[in-house]
Amino acid sequence: MISRFILRRVIIAFFQLLGVSLVVFFLIRLLPADPVANLVGLNASDDAYAQAERSLGLDKSIFEQLSVFLGFSEDPGLVDASLGISWMTNEPVFLEIGRFLPVTLELVTLSLLLSFLIAIPLGMASATKPGSIADKVALIWGMFAGAQPDYWWGLLFVFVFFYVLGVAPPPMGSIDPMMSRPSVITGFLTIDSLLLGRFDVFISVLFHLMLPVVTLVFVISGAITKMVRQNMVRALSSDYILYAQACGLSKKEIGRYALRAALTPAVTLVGIFYMILLSAAVTVELVFSLSGIGQYAIRSILTFDYPAIQGVVLTVALLSLFIYLILDIIHAYLDPRVQY
């Protein structure tokens, strides 16, 4: 049953991705600029321009370009999973994304884990003891952290913790720039450094990710705390909790039952917040000089690098579909009312 459910979702995802590919392919060609001009720059004689246009394949008709993009030609394309060649760097887009994406996933995953570790106990304490200090902290944090954009908090944290107090590292990426990087195994610096026994790198990465993670956690945890609190309040006022109270169960036991009910919607929340954090990471990466997928996307858009833009959109769409598929499967396991 579950395998049929997964197969159906994968088939739907394939058509969704194909649709996204076609929409992106045609939409970016409506952008009001000429990528050839951007690349040939100051020496844009007519001859040089024509030469660059030929080398990028933009002298071909739109349908020939589509065929190249999809991979139905000699050149690398979608079908062979290389996602084409970046016009800016001349590298396969797939390889570039493989280098940039782990930086973002590392940042987002660490931030989300830490956010839930903080938000769940705080939300629970806030719901079980209304008016307590925990409740007030949750309320003020939720209002305060969300009142300013994440990049603003990032810049403020850099100013305070690095520039004024000197307790944080400079915003120069995910590792000390003078340190040699470990060989690439998974692309995730934390994992690769541990696998290779490079503890100096591991500590450096944790140290350099400290402020960007704190920034994302600071911004997102307030909202998660609020949601956990609301779910808990709803669960605590439900009939079965009233019944448990009437039966004389201890507060601890009642809290455990309520938390279970409150966390079921949190599975969906994980997916939603993961995607929110992915978009928030774009500006946080900029502030902390992290070479993540957000920076890659910005650079690709500003330079009108069509293959790279297409690659980023497809990757993010694929990531999103994958996360929601996993969550649906978990949800289906947890909630017997969900039909495959």
Partner 1 sequence: MKWLQRFALSLIAAAGFSGAAYAEDLLILTEEVPVSLNYDGATASIDTNWVGWDNILDPLVYHANGAINEDGVQLLNFNKFEGRLAESWSFDEATLTWTFNLRKGVKGCDGATFNADDVLYTFARAKSVSGAAPIGWFLANTGSVDGFTPAVFAPTDDGAAARKLGDEVKKIDDYTVQIRQSAPNQLFLKVLSIFALYIFDKETMEAHATADDPWSHNWTNNDGLAGFGPYCLNEWRKNDRFSLTANPDYYRGAAVYDRVVVKKVPQSANRVAILLSGAAQIAEHLTPKEYNTLSKAKNVSVVGVQGNENMFMILNFKSPPFDNPLVRQAIAHAVPYERIIDTSYFGEAHKWQGVVPSTYPGFHVASTQYNYDPEKSKALLAEAGYPGGAGLEAFPDSFKLTYMLERESEMGPTATILHTAFREVGINVELNPIPQAQYGDRELVKKDLPMGLTAHIKPIGVDAAYGTLLSYVSSNKGGILNSANYSSDMVDGTLYGSLAEGDNDKRNEMLAAIQEQLMKDLVVIPILEFRTHWATAASVTGVVWHPDNALRLHDLKPAK
Nearest to partner 1 of 7, 37 (CB atom): 37
* Least separation in angstroms between CB 91 and partner 1: 5
* Least separation in angstroms between CB 129 and partner 1: 30
Q: Which amino acid is at 210?
A: M
Quick one: which of 60, 99, 234, 331 contacts partner 1 (CB under 8 A)?
A: 99
CA 75, CA 69: separation in Å to the nearest integer? 9
The answer to whether 173 contacts partner 1 (rule: CB under 8 A) is yes
The answer to whether 168 contacts partner 1 (rule: CB under 8 A) is yes
* Least separation in angstroms between CB 226 and partner 1: 29
Q: State the alpha helices, DSSP H only, in 163-305.
A: 189-195, 199-236, 239-246, 251-287, 293-302
# binding residues, partner 1 (CB under 8 A): 66
Q: Which stretch binds partner 1 (CB under 8 A): 177-185, 256-264, 267-275, 310-318?
A: 177-185
* Least separation in angstroms between CB 247 and partner 1: 48
The answer to whether 302 contacts partner 1 (rule: CB under 8 A) is yes
If we measure between CA atoms, which residue out of 103, 83, 98, 85 comes closest to residue 314? 83
Q: Are 238 and 193 in contact (CB under 8 A)?
A: no
The answer to whether 303 contacts partner 1 (rule: CB under 8 A) is yes
The answer to whether 40 contacts partner 1 (rule: CB under 8 A) is yes
CA 6, CA 326: separation in Å to the nearest integer? 9
CA 58, CA 35: separation in Å to the nearest integer? 9
Task: Give the number of other Cβ atoms within 10 Å of residue 174's Cβ.
Answer: 24
- 92 forms beta bridges with 85
The answer to whether 45 contacts partner 1 (rule: CB under 8 A) is yes
Nearest to partner 1 of 172, 330 (CB atom): 172
Residue 216: partners with Cβ closer than 8 Å, 6 or more residues away: 107, 108, 111, 115, 150, 277, 280, 281, 284
Site string for partner 1, 194-223 (x = CB under 8 A): ------x--xx--xx---------------
Classify 287 as helix, strand or coil: helix
Token pair 């004024």: residue: 164
Q: Are 267 and 228 in contact (CB under 8 A)?
A: no
The answer to whether 142 contacts partner 1 (rule: CB under 8 A) is no
* Least separation in angstroms between CB 93 and partner 1: 12
Q: Are 115 and 106 in contact (CB under 8 A)?
A: no
Site string for partner 1, 147-166 (x = CB under 8 A): --------x--xx--xx-xx
Quick one: which of 27, 33, 113, 195 contacts partner 1 (CB under 8 A)?
A: 33
* Least separation in angstroms between CB 88 and partner 1: 6
Quick one: which of 16, 67, 73, 89 contacts partner 1 (CB under 8 A)?
A: 89
How many CA atoms lie within 13 Å of 233's alpha carbon, on the beta-carbon side? 12
Quick one: which of 88, 138, 223, 241 contacts partner 1 (CB under 8 A)?
A: 88
The answer to whether 226 contacts partner 1 (rule: CB under 8 A) is no
Q: State the alpha helices, DSSP H only, in 29-179.
A: 35-40, 46-56, 62-70, 93-128, 133-145, 150-157
What residue ranges bind partner 1 (CB under 8 A)? 32-52, 55-56, 87-91, 96, 99-100, 155, 158-159, 162-163, 165-173, 176-181, 200, 203-204, 207-208, 286-287, 289, 291, 295-296, 299, 302-304
